[in-house]
Each structure stands twice: as C-alpha cells, then as structure tokens.
Amino acid sequence: MIPDNVKNLFRDLNEKDIIYVHWKSNEHILEGLMGKTDLDVLIPENQHDQVVECLKDNGYVMTVSMKWQLYPFVEDWIGFCSNTGIQTHIHLHMRLITGKPYVKEQYLPFDAEILQSRMLSELDVYVADPNLEIIILLIRTVIKQSVFSTILNNNGEFLFSKNVKREYEYLKKIVERDCINKFSSETLPGHEELIESIIFEKCTNKRMLELKNIVNKEFEAYRRCNYISAVCLSTFRYYYIKLRSILKIALNTKKTLASQKGLIITFIGVDGSGKSTISKKVQNDLNWKIDSRYFYLGSGDGSTSILNRLLRRYAIAKKSLSNVDSTHVISKNNNPTHKCGAHGLKLLISNLNSVSNAKAKYKACKKMDTIRHNGGIAITDRYPQIQFIGINDGPHIVNLGSGLFALINKWLKKKEYEYLEKACSYKPDIIIKLSIPFEVSRARKKDSSEESIKRKIEIIDSIHFDGSREYIVDNTGELEGTLLKVKNIIWDEIKRIS
C-alpha cells in the first residue's frame, strides 16, 4: 500500500503542473513509493521552490548526508505517513549526477531530454521513457565500472551487478529499436550502432569498454574531478569504511536534520511500561535514514570504565544472593544510617557504584547533547533526575554513621549529586511517559513490591523537566498502536524544528 503522504505529494505536483520525473530504477518504483527503497526525482532548477513547498505541505523534512555523500544539486527529503508509520526517502535532483561510490564525479547533460520525454505511469507518477532510461543506465554502469575488470575478460559477456541486471533485463523487454536510435542520436551522436548492438544483440565486455572510452571522452567537460582523482577517492573511502568496520570503530553514515536542530527524546514509566521495547523500536525505525542513537540511562549500562564494570558485577552477585526486593525506596526524610562493619563496607562499595553510574549518565547526556546540536536524534530509556532521592534514577547514596566510612561516603554523596546535576543540565526536548495501571505493572514485574510500584507511579506522575515538552501515552493496548502514537508525536516534533 502506498502511504497517503506519498500519494498526496505526487497528486499535488501533477495538479500544479510542476515538471518532474522519476528518472531511474523505475523497475521497482512501487517499492520506493512504499518506503522500501529510495525515490530519485529530477526537477528543473527553476521549479525548486515550488517543489519544496509541496514537500513541506506533505510533511517532508530536509536532511543532509555525511560530507562524503554530499553532492551538488541533490537534496534528501524524508517523509512520514501518520496513518501507517511508513517513512519514505526522496533524492531530489536538480541535475543528473552519477559516478563512483562516495564521489559521484560525473554530471550527465540529459536533464532536458529526460524531462521532455517523461511518461505518466499507471501509478500517476511521471517516469523516464524506458528507451532513454536504458541508455542512461548503460552510461551510468560504464562510468562506475573499473577498466581492469572489463579488460580481464575482454570478449566475454558483461557482468552486471544483481540490481542493475534486474533493471537492464526489465527495460530490454519494453524498448523499441526506433526509439533507441532516436535517443542515442541525442545523447551520443555518431554511436547509435554501438548502443543498439549492446541492447539488441549482446552486451559484451568489449562493447562496454568501447562505450566507456566514448563516454569518458564525450563527457570530460562535465566532470567534477578528473578520472584518477575519482578512482583514488572512491577506493580510499571504500577501504577506510571497511577497515573501521573490521576494527569495530563506529562511523556514522546516517543523515542529520538540515536545520541542525536535533532532539533528545526520553521514555520514562513504571516497571513493565515498555520503555525499553518501545524506545529501541522507535530508534531502529528512525535510524533507517536519520542519525538516531539509543541510550540506556539506568544503572550504568553503557559505561566502559573498568571500575564501573567491576562494581556492577559485584552488585549483581550480591543481588543474586538476596531474596528480598532489590528496589531501593528512600525518601528525603527517611535516609538510613549504618555503622562501620561488614554491612557498612558493602554499602560503601554500593555507593562507589552509584558514583560511577552517575558519572556514566553525565557522559551519556553530554554525548546526547552533541548529537542533538549536530542535527541527530538521541533516544533514551529513562533519564537522571534530582527531584526524588533513592528511586527513578535519582541520587541513591545513603549515609554511613561514623568513622572513616562516613567521611568517604560524604564525599561520594557529593560527587554523585554533582554528576547527576550536570547530567540534568542537558534537558531532554521531549518526555514521553508510558502509562499503565498499577495492576498491569504488578503482573508484568512480579519481582517488585507493591509499595515500590505505587511509589514509582506517584513519582513518575510528579516528575517534570523544565523546558521539556511532555506527552502521556497509554500503553495498555496493542504494541503497534502505541508505537504509531509515539512515532506521530516524534515526527510532529521533527517537523516543528525543521
């Protein structure tokens, strides 16, 4: 099913007599319209403002790629359907550009021809004439193709990549010799016979190599950089990405919002409200094209410090030996004290863990703020706060009664509060409170006491972050329904800042 916002966009373009064409990969244009792959739309440069108006009217937002994939006269627009939750991605071209991966060094001077010969498809979208599209496909293929791979098997059949072969075979079935001859004379005059032999006889390496030499010569004036530079840049960037992948060094290749105003989106809720499930699913969907990172801000997960890992293992081991409810419910007026001794030592170790957790949260919040200011989106499960002690990601350190432990603990308590205070200074933009009744939480989290659950529900209702927009979403129904509500909230916010 084609999403409503996509149907409405192309209907608006048609009704306003805006000239456009989906200029390549029309063999699977339906997949693009359904959000399964990208759409490549070419427009005249003088109608850019009108097209942008239509895109914005239908809820599309502009994004920008990483520097390696920023190409002149090409824009990226992402749309969202509020009824289905489907995202669509449009490459908006003002000029035809192609070339080697990570470079795109070659302009093709066929803009006018492809716009003038466009055809209205049965999907009510203007597409390229297949007779011109197949010629451009061959030209794009030889520009990307390495000379060495064709020379090595000079007389054999040319090997297309899987996707290109599928397009080529599809187009071959619907083209006509007279039309091919016409478009060949317009794009590569004097070489009509070679193009016809490739399409209607046999596509050999020898013929494709001859076409490559012709294309390089004829379109030299339309290059952004010379051939050697393009090959070197493409090769370097390809292997650089591969090396980082092998070494497991993260490299973000997603797009960011063109406004350079991102979001920190926080999910909070009582145990069993679905914070982790929903936040991860939302982040995964957004990350299809937009730079979106997931952060868990609970008990120090994500921290890479050795101290934190050791202390967390200690805490887990201690918890496994205890049969009591591990939830720590403490109020400001009920802060227990413990004397020195075995129990005091255990508690001191727990407090060290709390400081380490607080520091990890501060670092995570600082990183999220950087992502936000770069136009990305940070999705968090929970968020630190200093309004309530001992529960819901607030301060946890308790007093030790006397002696050396008390002095150490006093310092730890101060450090924990400082880290949490710094973390809270990075305000989230959106707070989504996932609401479920006490009975549902009790059923989903049987290891938590009734007192703990009730106290958490009260605190969650009372927690507010100054400057953050707050939404309450009922999560007692089907997961898909809740996800759609949440996605609509987030996309409304994305459109608001774009």
Nearest to 60 by CA among 32, 34, 88: 88
∠ CA 141-100-172, rounded to 5°? 15
Extended beta strands in 124-249, E state: 126-127
Predicted confidence (pLDDT) per residue in 470-497, tens digit: 999 999 889 999 999 999 999 999 999 9
3-state secondary structure of 93: strand
Residue 42 contacts residue 63 (beta carbons within 8 Å): no
- Computed on alpha carbons and rounded to an integer, the radius of gyration of the chain in Å comes to 29
The span from the CA of 434 to the CA of 269, in Å, is 5
Model pLDDT, residue 389? 80
Provide CB contacts within 8 A for 119, sequence distance 6+.
126, 127, 128, 129
Give the per-residue pLDDT at 131: 98
Query: What is the set of domains in the chain, with CATH numbers?
Result: 4-240 (no CATH), 260-497 (3.40.50.300)
Residue 36 has pLDDT above 50, yes or no: yes
368-396 pLDDT, tens digit per residue, is: 999 999 999 999 999 998 888 866 688 88
Digit-coded pLDDT (tens) for 279-315: 999 999 999 999 999 999 986 444 555 555 555 555 5
Q: Best-predicted range by mean pLDDT among 32-46, 320-334, 441-455?
A: 32-46
Give the integer Cα–Cα distance in Å for 149 and 6. 40
Q: How many CA atoms lie within 13 Å of 208's alpha carbon, on the beta-carbon side?
A: 29
Give the per-residue pLDDT at 155: 62
- Cα distance between residue 94 and residue 140, in whole Å: 17
What single-letter DSSP state applies at residue 443?
H
Given a cut of 70, whether residue 331 has pLDDT beyond it is no
pLDDT of residue 323: 42
CB 20 within 8 A of CB 116: no
Query: Over 94-125, what HEC string results?
Result: CCEEECCCCCCCEEECCHHHHHHCCEECCCCC
Provide the token pair at 190. 């004097």
Average pLDDT over residues 441-447: 75
Look at residue 25 and tell me whether its pLDDT is greater than 90: yes
Average pLDDT over every residue of 126-133: 98
> Does 154 score more than 80 pLDDT?
no
Residue 283 structure tokens: 């982040």
Q: For residue 137, count other CB atoms closer than 10 A to its CB.
A: 19
Closest to 81 (Cα-Cα) out of 195, 3, 137 = 3
- Element spanning 374, H or E: none
User: What global pTM score does this model have?
Assistant: 0.87
- The string of pLDDT tens digits covering residues 241-278 is 889 889 888 777 789 999 989 999 999 998 888 999 99
User: What b-and-e string marks burial along 327-357, b requiring 16 or more CB atoms within 10 Å of the CB?
Assistant: bebbeeeeeeebeeeeebeebbebbbbbbbb
Phi, psi of 263 (to 5 degrees): -140, 145
Higher pLDDT, 42 or 311: 42
Confidence band (pLDDT; 50, 70, 90) for 339?
very low
pLDDT tens-place string over residues 46-96:
999 999 999 999 999 999 998 878 899 999 999 999 999 999 999 999 999
Q: Which residues make beta-bridge pairs with 96?
A: 108
Computed over every residue of the chain, the mean pLDDT equals 87
DSSP summary character for residue 86: -
- pLDDT of the residue at 169: 96
Residue 124 has pLDDT above 80, yes or no: yes
Q: What is the predicted pLDDT for the residue at 55?
A: 98
Given pLDDT bands bounded at 50, 70 and 90, which one contains residue 156?
confident
∠ CA 416-469-359, rounded to 5°:
15
pLDDT at residue 185 in the model: 96
Bigger pLDDT: 145 vs 165: 165
228 or 93: which leads in pLDDT = 93
pLDDT at residue 334, rounded to an integer: 41
Summarize the confidence of residues 343-372 as an average pLDDT.
Answer: 87
Kindly state the tokens that stand for 187.
Answer: 């794009």
Rounded Cα gap, residues 83 and 75, in angstroms: 26
